[in-house]
Structure 1
Amino acid sequence: MKRLTLFLSLIFLSFFVFSQKNESADRKDIKKLLSTFMNCLIKKDSVTFYNLFHNEPIVWVGVFKDKTQQDRLKKDSTRKNYFASSYKSFYRSISDMGADEEKFYNIDINEDGNIAAVTFDYSFWESRKKINWGKESWGLVKINGQWKITSVIFSLEFESINPEPNKKK
């Protein structure tokens, strides 16, 4: 009986181990895209950064979270709670600043080999000081074997108005 139980346990464990999915090449490529994006900001590499995006137009929309928006309205009651921009404008605006870094965590990738949706929490840092944080979502397409960003939408909370709660990163 012990041998049968041991035998069945080994079969069950081997089935479990071999049934686990290996990370797909596409998921690895998307993770590399995220890493490249972050590194381009640190290294101020505009050529590589621009190459991460599909041909224009790219949707780029930020929405201010409630506490930050309420603070903005105190200064000007006509301010909208969102803005639209472009990846080139974003890059130009940060390239004039000091050392910049955007950190991504709690990353969720949903892909089918041709399109992907990537969501994650982010924080943006200038000269090692957190400036803002929120949730970000990218739309991706695979063109000629390469993943390209087609849209970036994100929420934005100023750290000075509402510090980011501690999250598992």
Structure 2
Amino acid sequence: MLPRNVALFAATLLATSFAHAATPAPASTTAKAEISQLVDAFKAAIIAKDGTKLGTLFVAGNSSWFSAMDSASLERTRAKKPDAKRVRAEPEAYKGFTSFVGSTTHAIEETFDNVRIDTDGIVGSVYFDYVFLLDRKPTNHGNETWQVVRTDEGWKINAMLYSVILDPAK
């Protein structure tokens, strides 16, 4: 009787592994691809200076931005603005950024390296190293992280936190 149970158990395991192989990719795999498209749309909107498109990538009315400077950058900034803060909470700052992107006459770009996306298919986070370029010259760099959420209109950026390390003026 024991060999029959072992054979039945082995057959069950084998069938389960085939069933698992035929299962479609988890929702988080699809969601990661969709969030990656959000990242690409963000970069493309900056290069195209399309502030309107960039604005559609955020949760309207509920987005927040926080930035934090390293000590050397804070010292340089305080030389010009003595009341500059190391950490700035900037609710709805995306509106000012989208306005800048849409109106600047300079070539602008934000590069992203080491992009990491984590999601359960409903909410997610994006973390990467960035460099902001103005007229093809780096102005600042650091780490950036987004909180993203799946809305009825697709994935949107709800919150952003980034470090600011000023690059030397050339």
TM-score of the aligned structures, taking structure 1 as reference length: 0.76
Equivalent of 1:91 in 91, 98, 102: 98
In the other structure, the counterpart of 2:62 is 57
Root-mean-square deviation over aligned CA pairs: 2.2
Read off the aligned partner of 1:53 and give its amino acid letter: F
Equivalent of 1:67 in 57, 69, 72: 72
Unaligned runs of 5+ in 1: 1-17, 162-169
Relative to 1, partners in 2 of residues 1:75 and 1:48: Cα closer, same or farther, differing over 3 Å?
closer
Q: 1:4-29 CA deviation, whole Å, 9 max, x = no partner?
A: xxxxxxxxxxxxxx7xx968111111
In the other structure, the counterpart of 2:10 is none
Q: Indicate conservation of the 8 Å contact 2:68/2:162, yes or no.
A: yes
Q: 1:51-74 CA deviation, whole Å, 9 max, x = no partner?
A: 111121211121111210122234
Aligned residue pair count: 143
Q: 1:106-146 CA deviation, whole Å, 9 max, x = no partner?
A: 11111000000111110000111111101101000001261
The separation in 2 between residues aligned to 1:27 and 1:97, in whole angstroms, is: 34
1:48 shift after superposition = 1.6
Equivalent of 1:134 in 125, 142, 156: 142
1:90 shift after superposition = 1.1
Unaligned runs of 5+ in 2: 1-20
In the other structure, the counterpart of 1:151 is 159
Aligned partner of residue 146 in structure 2, secondary structure: strand
TM-score of the aligned structures, taking structure 2 as reference length: 0.76
Aligned partner of residue 24 in structure 1, secondary structure: helix
In the other structure, the counterpart of 2:108 is 100
Relative to 1, partners in 2 of residues 1:89 and 1:103: Cα closer, same or farther, differing over 3 Å?
same
Relative to 1, partners in 2 of residues 1:144 and 1:75: Cα closer, same or farther, differing over 3 Å?
closer
User: Which structure has the larger Rg over C-alpha atoms?
Assistant: 2
